[in-house]
Amino acid sequence: MRLGSPGLLLLLFSSLRADTQEKEVRAMVGSDVELSCACPEGSRFDLNDVYVYWQTSESKTVVTYHIPQNSSLDNVDSHYRNRALMSPAGMQRGDFSLRLFNVTPQDEQKFHCLVLSQSLGFQEVLSVVVTLHVAANFSVPVVSIPHNPSQDELTFTCTSINGYPRPNVYWINKTDNSLLDQALQNDTVFLNTRGLYDVVSVLRIARTPSLNIGCCIENVLLRQNLTVGSQTGNSIGERDKITENPVSTREKTEVTWSVLAVLCLLVAVAVAIGWVCRDRWLRRSYAGVWAVRPEPELAGHV
């Protein structure tokens, strides 16, 4: 019996009942990952005897496959075409692992590897399910500070982008490292065009004389917490006053112009002195020439 198409393989797979190995692997978005599916070391296989099939467990999407004397991969799903590869040399050694290139968030699912032997009546040789977890680092959170610290209620906004999976967002009272009531915050989390998560969290809290809070973006899969602090109080008002005081700026401008005027005056005086000295030197040089000329003899002088 010869199975010449993945469709027939699917019919056969549905009738198989055997123990399946379970594995998990993690990969960063944009990286390459290997999904392991291998027999014990020392195994040898004839590629004209084995049928190897990789598909997703839930949607049954065809990832890649090996069928003896059939090099066509026309049935591979477009999402995995040219991205999923098995090594022929590895398969001969019993290593049917899948190399997946340029991992995307859509790749986070279960992958099923099934190996059958034709000479054994299409008996199952190996069955492995690999769960792929995908992750991406969130950007460092950016926290906006209220522009009007005199109002009764302060509004903070925390933004972080391009992470995976969906994050947890916390606001922290950094004075005692306690978590603020989540009822005070409103989180908006959405998928961007890259399939990654962007998050915007808005915190509204009553104003106190001094607040020292932080925004924390938690990536559970990477065990990563990105926290940025933001402190409000008298120091904020003083900083704004120094930065935005127009009088200070005008005074600095006036001082600058005064210094430039003095420098210009000194240069002009130096140039004038130079011209005077040069003129006097030229006059002395000219008189000396006449002094060395002999006086003409008087007519009739004996």
| pLDDT tens per residue across all 302 residues of the chain | 344 454 444 444 444 445 789 999 999 999 999 999 999 887 899 999 999 999 998 889 999 999 998 877 888 999 999 999 999 999 999 999 999 999 999 999 999 999 999 989 899 999 999 999 999 999 999 998 776 655 688 899 999 999 999 999 999 998 888 999 999 999 999 999 999 999 999 999 888 777 788 999 999 999 999 999 875 543 332 222 222 333 334 444 554 555 566 566 666 666 666 655 555 544 544 444 333 334 444 344 43
Residue 241 bridge partners (DSSP): none
- CA-CA distance, 82 to 139, in Å (whole number)? 30
- Residue 238 domain flag: no
- Residue 8 domain flag: no
- Residue 258 domain flag: no
In terms of domains, do 53 and 126 share one?
yes
pTM for this prediction? 0.67
Q: Give the residue from 173, 201, 229 where a domain finishes.
A: 229
Q: Give the residue from 210, 229, 248 where a domain finishes.
A: 229
Instruction: Say which CATH number the domain at 46 has.
Output: 2.60.40.10
Please say whether the beta carbons of 154 and 207 come within 8 A: yes
In terms of domains, do 118 and 154 share one?
no
Q: Give the residue from 108, 135, 162 where a domain finishes.
A: 135
Please say whether the beta carbons of 192 and 243 come within 8 A: no
- Give the residue numbers spanning the domain of 39: 21-135
Number of domains comprising the chain: 2
- Residue 213 domain flag: yes
Terminal Cα-to-Cα distance of the chain (whole angstroms): 154
In terms of domains, do 131 and 91 share one?
yes
